């Protein structure tokens, strides 16, 4: 089963999760069970699309009421939730300031054209 590990960090914390800074990160990302990963630009570069008063609204920045923002995500294949949680725990040891949400990926195709 695929799981998404959503990495949350505080807005004022510089990203520390790079191969150059932390070789242990590279060791985890290079595993066959890690099927993809991305780091995101800072939260202030986001634009949120929402619907208000019958028209589309664009809002600069993330539209969440939070002191933490998603900094990236890692996709892993694991036998079960415990396997995905084990990878998240390893990452947590490398950066104790980050929070890691582990969520199963819905593996259905979108309908339509």
**Residue-wise pLDDT tens for the chain (113 aa)?**
999 998 887 755 555 556 566 778 888 989 999 999 888 887 778 777 766 666 766 666 555 556 667 888 899 999 999 999 999 999 888 877 778 889 999 887 776 65
CA 111 to chain centre: 25
What is the reported pLDDT for 1?
92
Q: What's the total number of domains in the chain?
A: 1
H helix intervals, the chain: 23-29, 81-94
Does residue 15 sit within a domain? yes
What is the reported pLDDT for 113?
57
What is the reported pLDDT for 82?
93
Q: Closest Cα partner for 28 from 15, 37, 16, 41?
A: 37
Does residue 26 sit within a domain? yes
What is the reported pLDDT for 44?
78
Domain holding 60, by residue range, is: 2-104
What is the reported pLDDT for 64?
54
Task: Tell me the backbone φ, ψ of residue 29, rounded to 5 degrees.
Answer: -65, -25
CATH number of the domain encompassing residue 20: 3.30.70.1060
Does residue 109 sit within a domain? no
> pTM for this structure?
0.73
Does residue 111 sit within a domain? no
What is the reported pLDDT for 20?
64
Does residue 84 sit within a domain? yes
Does residue 31 sit within a domain? yes
């Amino acid at each position: 089963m695929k799981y998404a590990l959503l990495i949350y960090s505080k807005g004022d914390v510089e990203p520390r999760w790079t191969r150059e800074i932390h070789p242990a990160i590279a060791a985890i990302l290079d595993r066959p069970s890690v099927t993809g990963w991305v780091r995101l630009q800072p939260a202030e570069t986001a634009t949120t699309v929402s619907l208000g008063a019958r028209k589309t609204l664009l809002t600069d920045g993330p539209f969440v009421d939070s002191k933490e923002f998603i900094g990236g995500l890692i996709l892993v294949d694991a036998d079960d939730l415990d396997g995905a949680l084990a990878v998240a725990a390893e990452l947590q040891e490398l950066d104790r300031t980050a929070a890691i949400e582990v969520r199963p990926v819905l593996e259905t195709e979108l309908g339509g054209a």
